[in-house]
C-alpha cells in the first residue's frame, strides 16, 4: 500500500496522467470533427488532407535523416489527422531563435578559450587519414586533439566507481558533474557524502542532470536541495507535462570533472544498477574511461558551455585551465598518443557521432568491434557496416541478450538478417544487458562515449564521446571486448531464419517507426 501511495503521489505519475489527458483531448477533438454537420466535416477533412500533403512535401524537402523523414511521411499518410497534429507537436526539432541568441555569446567566449592545435598539426602531417577525422571533430565537435593525456579504461561501472570516489575525495578546487540519470541509492549517497564535505571546504561544485532522464529517480525539488547544500545545480530541459517537441531533446551526456586535470566519461550514470548493486536486467555490462592530463580541458569546456547556457552566465574559462592545476597530479603527464573529446548537439543538422562511426568503419583494415545497447540503424550506418564487412574487415557487434526495452529490442533484432548476410558477426551478451557504447579498430583507434547506435542518440540527444588514437589502453578495450564474447551467444543466419515468420513480420513492421521510438 505504501508503494502504491508513493507511486500515485510521484511526479512521474502526475506528469504521465496529464500527458494522457492531453492525448485524450486530441482524440476528442478528432472525434468531434466527425460529428460536425456533414458538409462542414467534409470541408475540414479536405483542408487537413491538403495541409497534410503540403506537410509531407515540406518534410521531404528538409535536411535530415531520410529514414526519419520517411517514417513521418508514412505516419501522416496512413493517419492524416493524427499524423498531422503529431508532427506539429513532435516533428520539428530546430533550436528556437531565442535559444540561438542566448547561446551565441557562449560560443564566442569559447573561441577565446585556450586551445593548442599542435597535436592536430602533428597528426595531419604524420597520418593524414586520422588527421582528417581529427580535423572534422575539431570543426564540428568543438575540441582539437590533445597529447600528454593518460587514458584509463574501466570494463565495468563497478570498477570505475571506487576510483571516482577516490578522485572526488582528493578534489581541491572544483567538481563538475553532468549525467542523464541520477538516482538515490548507495552510489549517489557515497558521492553526495563527499560533495557535502567539499562544499563545506569551499569548492566550486556544479551539477547538471537531465530532468526527464531522472524523472522517476529524483524529486522535483532536487535542484533546490542541492542549492541548500551549497552545490550549484541545474536541470536540463525541465520536463513539463505538455505535448512539446522539446521533450525529445535530452542531455544524455555523462561527465565528471575534477580540478581540470581528471575527468570521467562513458556509459555509466549515477544509479545503483550501473554498478551492479541493483539487478534489473541481469548483469549490467557498462564501461567508463578516466582521462588525466591535457585532454580533460576538452571535457571542461564541454561542461561549461552547457552550464553557461542553463545559468544565463559567462564563465571565465581561465579559472579552469588544465595548466593551472596540472602540478597537483601525482606526476607530470608525458604520454604518447592522442585523445579528442567531442560533443554532439541535435540542433545543427550535423550528426557528429554517426559521421565518426562511419569514418572508423570505412578506414578500418583489420577489424571493428562495437558494443551498443540498441541497434536502430540509419541507411548510412547500415551501408557502412555491411560494405566494410563485405571488404573482408572483421566487423563484430555486441548487443544485450536481456533487454531493458522490449520493443526496441525487437527492432534491434530486425536488423540482424541484413547484417549477417553481409558477413557482420553479431553476439548477444548472455549474462544480461550491455549499456556500453564503444568502437575499437585495428589496435589503434577507439571511441568511448554516450551515443548509442539509434536515432534518438544520433539525432535527438546531446551526446559526448572521446576519440582515442594510438594509446596502449586501446588494447585493454579490445581485451575486454573479446572476454565479453566468451560469455555471449553468437547469432547465425540460420538462427534468424528459424524465427517464427509472424514474429519477423512484427519486427519488420516496428522498423517503420524505428526512428520515432
- What is the per-residue DSSP string for 234-279? EEES---SS--GGGG--B--EEEEETTTEEEEES--BSGGGGTSS-
Average pLDDT, integer, range 146-154: 95
| pLDDT score, position 318 | 82
Distance CA 282, CA 270 (A): 18
Q: What is the pTM of this model?
A: 0.86
| pLDDT score, position 87 | 73
Q: Are residues 94 and 101 in contact, defined by beta-carbon separation less than 8 angstroms?
A: no
Dihedral sign, Cα of residue 330, residue 331, residue 332, residue 336: negative
DSSP symbols for 34-52? HTS-HHHHHHHHHHHHHHH
Q: How confident is the model at residue 490 (pLDDT cuts 50, 70, 90)?
A: very high
Domains and CATH numbers, the chain: 2-91 (no CATH), 97-338 (3.30.870.10), 352-516 (3.30.870.10)
Distance CA 348, CA 341 (A): 18
- The residue with cell 595531419 is 124
Mapped onto helix, strand or coil, the DSSP state of residue 283 is strand
Q: Give tens-digit pLDDT for 15-55.
A: 666 666 656 666 666 666 556 556 666 676 777 777 777 77
Of 499, 484, 372, nearest to 429 by C-alpha is 484
Q: What is the DSSP letter of 181?
A: -
Of residues 349 and 149, the one with the higher pLDDT is: 149
Most confident of 96-100, 104-108, 243-247, 329-333: 329-333
Average pLDDT, the chain: 85
Q: How confident is the model at residue 503 (pLDDT cuts 50, 70, 90)?
A: confident
Of residues 261 and 250, the one with the higher pLDDT is: 261
Percent of the chain surpassing pLDDT 90:
53
Average pLDDT, integer, range 331-354: 86
Phi, psi of 123 (to 5 degrees): -70, -40
Mapped onto helix, strand or coil, the DSSP state of residue 489 is strand
Q: Give tens-digit pLDDT for 170-208.
A: 999 999 999 999 999 999 999 999 999 999 999 999 999
Amino acid at each position: 500500500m505504501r508503494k502504491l501511495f508513493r507511486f500515485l503521489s510521484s511526479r512521474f505519475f502526475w506528469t504521465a496522467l496529464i500527458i494522457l489527458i492531453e492525448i485524450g483531448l486530441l482524440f476528442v477533438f478528432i472525434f468531434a470533427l466527425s460529428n460536425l454537420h456533414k458538409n462542414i466535416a467534409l470541408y475540414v477533412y479536405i483542408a487537413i488532407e491538403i495541409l497534410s500533403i503540403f506537410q509531407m512535401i515540406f518534410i521531404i524537402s528538409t535536411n535530415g535523416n531520410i529514414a526519419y523523414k520517411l517514417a513521418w511521411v508514412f505516419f501522416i499518410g496512413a493517419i492524416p489527422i493524427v499524423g498531422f497534429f503529431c508532427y506539429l507537436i513532435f516533428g520539428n526539432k530546430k533550436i528556437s531563435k531565442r535559444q540561438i541568441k542566448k547561446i551565441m555569446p557562449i560560443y564566442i567566449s569559447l573561441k577565446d578559450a585556450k586551445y593548442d592545435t599542435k597535436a592536430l598539426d602533428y597528426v595531419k602531417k604524420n597520418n593524414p587519414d586520422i588527421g582528417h577525422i581529427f580535423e572534422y571533430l575539431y570543426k564540428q565537435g568543438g575540441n582539437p586533439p590533445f597529447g600528454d593525456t593518460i587514458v584509463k579504461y574501466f570494463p565495468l561501472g563497478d570498477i570505475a566507481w571506487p576510483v571516482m570516489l577516490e578522485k572526488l575525495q582528493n578534489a581541491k578546487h572544483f567538481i563538475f558533474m553532468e549525467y542523464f540519470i541520477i538516482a538515490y541509492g548507495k552510489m549517489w549517497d557515497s558521492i553526495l557524502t563527499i560533495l557535502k564535505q567539499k562544499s563545506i571546504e569551499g569548492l566550486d561544485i556544479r551539477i547538471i542532470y537531465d530532468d526527464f532522464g531522472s524523472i522517476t529517480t529524483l524529486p522535483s525539488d532536487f535542484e533546490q536541495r542541492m542549492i541548500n547544500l551549497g552545490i550549484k545545480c541545474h536541470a536540463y530541459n525541465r520536463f513539463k507535462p505538455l505535448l512539446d517537441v522539446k521533450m525529445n531533446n535530452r542531455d544524455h551526456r555523462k561527465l565528471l570533472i575534477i580540478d581540470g586535470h581528471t575527468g570521467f566519461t562513458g556509459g555509466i550514470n549515477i544509479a545503483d544498477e550501473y554498478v551492479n548493486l541493483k539487478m534489473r536486467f541481469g548483469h549490467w555490462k557498462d564501461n567508463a574511461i578516466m582521462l588525466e592530463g591535457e585532454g580533460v580541458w576538452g571535457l571542461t569546456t564541454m561542461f561549461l558551455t552547457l552550464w553557461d547556457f542553463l545559468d544565463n552566465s559567462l564563465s571565465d574559462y581561465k579559472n579552469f585551465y588544465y595548466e593551472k592545476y596540472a602540478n597537483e597530479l601525482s606526476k607530470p603527464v608525458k604520454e604518447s598518443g592522442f585523445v579528442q573529446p567531442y560533443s554532439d548537439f541535435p540542433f545543427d543538422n550535423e550528426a557528429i557521432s554517426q559521421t565518426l562511426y562511419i569514418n572508423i568503419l570505412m578506414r578500418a583494415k583489420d577489424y571493428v568491434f562495437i558494443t551498443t545497447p540498441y541497434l536502430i540503424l540509419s541507411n548510412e550506418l547500415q551501408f557502412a557496416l555491411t560494405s566494410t564487412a563485405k571488404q573482408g574487415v572483421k566487423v563484430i557487434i555486441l548487443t544485450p541478450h536481456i533487454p531493458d526495452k522490449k520493443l526496441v529490442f525487437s527492432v534491434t533484432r530486425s536488423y540482424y538478417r541484413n547484417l549477417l548476410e553481409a558477413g557482420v558477426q553479431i553476439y548477444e551478451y548472455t549474462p544480461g544487458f550491455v549499456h556500453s557504447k564503444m568502437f575499437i579498430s585495428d589496435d589503434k583507434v577507439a571511441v568511448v562515449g554516450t551515443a548509442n547506435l539509434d536515432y534518438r542518440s544520433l539525432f535527438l540527444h546531446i551526446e559526448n564521446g572521446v576519440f582515442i588514437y594510438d594509446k596502449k589502453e586501446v588494447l585493454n578495450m579490445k581485451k575486454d571486448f573479446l572476454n565479453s564474447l566468451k560469455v555471449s551467444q553468437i547469432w547465425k543466419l540460420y538462427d534468424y531464419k528459424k524465427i517464427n515468420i509472424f514474429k519477423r513480420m512484427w519486427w519488420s513492421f516496428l522498423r517503420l517507426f524505428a526512428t520515432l521510438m
